[in-house]
Amino acid sequence: MVPEKDSKKIYVLDTNILVHDPSAFKNFEGANVGIPAVVLEELDQFKREATDRGRNSREFTRQLDNLRQQGSLKDGVKLDNGSTVRILFLGHDVPDIPFTLDKEDNQILLTALDLKSKGHEVKFISKDLNARVKADALGIYSEDYKKEYVTEEEFYQGWIAAPLSHSSQFRTSAN
């Protein structure tokens, strides 16, 4: 199912984003967020792991399952922040892709390319540098997921002197 064309961008999330941050889909305020169906297949492979990857895969799937109470993920579910989350499926008339389709990453890129070929403004979000390079080669805008990103201007630039009163001395006691 392809989202209705509107003025909003469609952020297509790669699997690694959801493994990194299972709530990442909530961080695109007011936008359309698409999760390719093949991402769910990849996460399903990880869910049994006793690792952060397994835990985050299970957590993301639980969150999607909770969203089903609000509507169809195929059609899109509206979040409190004004964004809409939907599962993306490939149609029958998909564009050619110069990469082998036996890799999930390339199937995810094909989903993004399909949206772009239908006139949507697509942003592919991935922590995988190679996938972002491939997206660029396909003419798809891509970027890294930077939830924790802090600009150079936001970094603390020095020391602050703060006068302390006599009563604010540190005291220790032996127990």
Q: How many CB atoms are located within 10 Å of the residue 89 CB?
A: 13
Average pLDDT for 7-22: 89
pTM: 0.77
Domains of the chain and any CATH numbers: 10-146 (3.40.50.1010)
The residue written with tokens 């490939």 in the block is 90
Q: How confident is the model at residue 100 (pLDDT cuts 50, 70, 90)?
A: low
- Structure confidence at residue 149 (pLDDT): 47
What mean pLDDT do residues 2-21 have?
A: 78
- Top pLDDT among 85 and 7 is at 85
Nearest to 11 by CA among 143, 124, 90, 147: 124
Distance in angstroms (rounded) separating the CA atoms of residues 175 and 44: 52
Are 135 and 112 spatial neighbours (Cβ–Cβ below 8 Å)?
yes
Q: What's 77's DSSP letter? A: E
For 112-154, the pLDDT digits (tens) are 999 998 889 999 999 999 999 999 999 999 999 987 544 455 4
